[in-house]
Structures are given as structure tokens and as C-alpha cells.
Structure 1
Amino acid sequence: MRVVLPIAAALLASPALAAPATYTVDPTHTTVYFGASHFERTTVRGRFGKMDGRILYDPDSGTGSIDFTVDTDSIDTGNRSLDGVLRSAQFLDAQNFPVARLQANRFIVENGKLVAVEGSLSLHGISQPLRLEADRFSCGETVLFGVRRNVCGGDFHASFPRSAFGVTRFLPEVGDLVTLQVSVEASPAGAAEPAGK
């Protein structure tokens, strides 16, 4: 059974929440990795170090949305020279396009399990549809360092052609297809409390 639901519906796994809530991405437990082929021999990989995001969730109306941003200047491949090239106008053009943005309003649920998130990716001044496949996703209560909080989190992956965003430098030697690996955790704003309560 395949059901398309608003993004909020997947958060119903957290029964303690009965009112509209804004989930805030935890940057210390959220990572965005990318990869692209180099001469079809190896894969150049890297990550983005700065990000922010919100999930608006209203269980009463069954509506919600994701707004997730990445600072393109925070790209890190472990090679400073390469990072400079990727930040330049040849690729990300971080000076003119400092933010990449994912906006989504649908979760794809099959047999009660989240399998994908659908929305759009804005990069290099261009927006294109993007589907993130869910490797796993769940919501629940955690206790860390004596603090209790509700957390939703999961691992997702996607791929897209960079040429669709006008990033065509060094094609085809540097591959067109870019893969993304996204791990995200988020909690309702102000929801944390001492574990003894």
C-alpha cells in the first residue's frame, strides 16, 4: 500500500505532541555529504559544515513543511585548493549563491513506513524537483546528559545532475551526477526538559 501524505503525517510517531510544533534541526547531529565521479575512476567526496532547518508540523490539520538550508561556502573536501575551486564561479559560485535550499511538503509512506520525501532543491539560482529516499526514519523520546526531549531523525539519499542547475564546468571529466547523503535530527523548539520530570 502506497500513500502520499503531508510531511507532518510522518511525525505522528511522536504521541507526546498534540499541538502544532516547529522542529529545529540539530546541526551537531546533522550532516550533508556529496560525491561526484572524477574521470570515471574515483569519487570526489565532501561535506557541508553549516546548515539550518525547520520542520513545521500541525497534527490537527495534517499539514507541514520542511525548509532546510546549507551554506555553500562551508564546503569541505579535505583539500583546500579543491574547496576554493568548488566555491568559485566555476561551480557553486558561493559569493553570488551563498545558500542551497531544500523545501518539501510531502512524505511518501508505504505500509506505515516513510520511504521518501519530495520537494525541490534550489542551487546556483535554479530550482528543480528532488526526491530524497529514506533509508530509515523515526521519532521518539531521548534522554541525553539528564535532558529529555522528543527527536525525529533519519538517513536519506538522493542524486541529481549538476547540469540541471547550470553547473557544467569540466563536464564530462568531472561527473554530472551528484549523490547526496543526508543524516538529520530535529527537535521541537523548547521541548527539552529535565529527565526526572
Structure 2
Amino acid sequence: MRATLSRAAPVAAPFAAIAVAAIMPLTAFAAPASYTVDPLHTSVYFGASHFDRTTVRGRFGKIDGRIVYDPATGAGSLDFTVGTDSVDTGNRTLDGVLRSDQFLDAQNNPYARFTANRFVTDGGKLVAVEGTFTLRGVTQPLRLDADRFSCGQTVLFGVRRDVCGGDFHATLKRSAFGLTRFLPEVGDEVTLQITVEASPGNPQ
């Protein structure tokens, strides 16, 4: 997965980013600063109802993202992508259907993308990230609500680094992106659960 702020690749999970843009409350780093998503500690999960009895769940394994942020002005931007061919439900047959042109059309639309430039706070606390989500060439507004978020230093194997991270959730209609196959047996409403960690600088 390769993502940069300048690339015009198409998230649905979707989806997505995403929320990493929430670093706006952080003022300890030099500005303007670039932050890189840690794919080992970042995940995108989705769920949709199946015959209104159970929930089909899955995840995306290829995730990448960048943020540019100026703590002095609060200005910033987020670009977060997910590889659509990395969808994983634990069912190989279902994964093949989801990658096909009936759903994600991964061959022609290899990325889903979330971009944002609005970070919503309440009393100094991040509550949401608002932007747009692109899937199968269709772009729609998307809001990621924050369940929790914080920034600080961590020490792992003797290495100290600055980290921002949080949990976020969102809901979208797959039909809004042209994904209408198997409606209404498979629900139109898709829920997203997103966990994000990011650090300053570029990946090594």
C-alpha cells in the first residue's frame, strides 16, 4: 500500500483515517510536522447485517496514511488509504465476492480513501474528524466520531517516540457508493470501527 498527501488514489472503510487527523490538540511537536500512520497498530473493521439476523464482519489489512499539521495555527490535512484487495472476512469465498466488480471492484479501484481537513473539538477534546470518503470512484461526506483519543510519549525496546492514537467509529450507506448487490438481504448500513496510531516523521 502506498499513500501520499499528493496522490489522487481512491477508503470505504472503508473505510476510514482517518481519525489520525485528530492530532490538532497536540502542540508539543515542531510545526509544520508530518505524521505517519503505524500500520501495525492501525486497523479498519466493518460490519453489515445478514438477513437482519446476524452481522457479517471483516477487516482490511493494507492501511497507510499521512498527516501534515501546524500546531501553531491548527491548520492541517489528512490522507488515509485502504487497499480494497486486502479485505478479509475469514471466508475466502466471500472475500472473492467482495473483491469482485459486484462490490469493491478491487482490480479497477485498488484503494478506498478518506481525506479530511476539519477536526472537531469540544472543550479541548477531540470529538470527531470530518472529511470525504471515496469508494469505487464515488465520493461522499464522512464523519468519524471519536470514542477516545490522546497524545504522548511511549517507550518500546528502549526507544522513546511521540504517539497520537485513538478509537473511532462511523456509519455509511453502501448504496451511496453504488454497492447495491444483495440488498436488502445484506444490509445497506455498514458500520466502521477504526483504531489509529501515528508518529511524526516518515516510516523507516
Secondary structure of the 2:115 match is: strand
Does residue 112 (structure 1) correspond to residue 124 (structure 2)? The answer is yes
Q: Tell me the equivalent position of 2:41.
A: 29
Counterpart of 1:175 in structure 2: which amino acid?
G
**Structure 1: 5+ residue stretches without partners:** 1-6, 193-197
Counterpart of 1:167 in structure 2: which amino acid?
L
**Structure 2: 5+ residue stretches without partners:** 1-19
Q: Tell me the equivalent position of 2:66.
A: 54
Larger radius of gyration: 1
Give the TM-score, by structure 2 length: 0.87
Q: Distance between the aligned counterparts of 1:191 and 1:78, measured in 2? A: 29
Q: Distance between the aligned counterparts of 1:93 and 1:9, measured in 2? A: 30
* 8 A Cα contact 1:103 1:121, kept in partner: yes
1:190 deviates by: 5.8
Structure 2 CA distance for partners of 1:75 and 1:9, relative to 1, 3 Å: closer
Q: Tell me the equivalent position of 2:24.
A: 11
Secondary structure of the 2:198 match is: strand
1:10 deviates by: 4.3
1:61 deviates by: 3.1
1:150 equivalent among 155, 162, 167: 162
Structure number with higher relative contact order (C-alpha < 8 Å, ≥ 6 residues apart): 2
* 8 A Cα contact 1:35 1:178, kept in partner: yes
Cα RMSD for the two superposed structures:
1.7
* 8 A Cα contact 1:151 1:185, kept in partner: yes
Q: Tell me the equivalent position of 1:188.
A: 200
Alignment length, in residue pairs? 185
1:14 deviates by: 4.7
For each residue in 1:23-43, what CA deviation from the matched residue of structure 2 results, as whole angstroms up to 9, or x when unmatched?
000000000000000000000
1:112 deviates by: 1.1
Q: Distance between the aligned counterparts of 2:171 and 2:124, measured in 1? A: 25
Q: Distance between the aligned counterparts of 1:79 and 1:9, measured in 2? A: 34
For each residue in 1:45-102, what CA deviation from the matched residue of structure 2 results, as whole angstroms up to 9, or x when unmatched?
0000001000111123321011000000000000000000000011100011100000
* 8 A Cα contact 1:150 1:191, kept in partner: no
Q: Distance between the aligned counterparts of 1:123 and 1:116, measured in 2? A: 21
Q: Distance between the aligned counterparts of 1:9 and 1:84, measured in 2? A: 34
* 8 A Cα contact 2:22 2:126, kept in partner: no
Secondary structure of the 2:85 match is: helix
Counterpart of 2:104 in structure 1: which amino acid?
L
Q: Answer 1 or 2: which has greater strand percent.
A: 1
Q: Distance between the aligned counterparts of 1:19 and 1:105, measured in 2? A: 17
Structure 2 CA distance for partners of 1:69 and 1:123, relative to 1, 3 Å: same
Q: Tell me the equivalent position of 1:162.
A: 174
Give the TM-score, by structure 1 length: 0.90
Does residue 134 (structure 1) correspond to residue 146 (structure 2)? The answer is yes
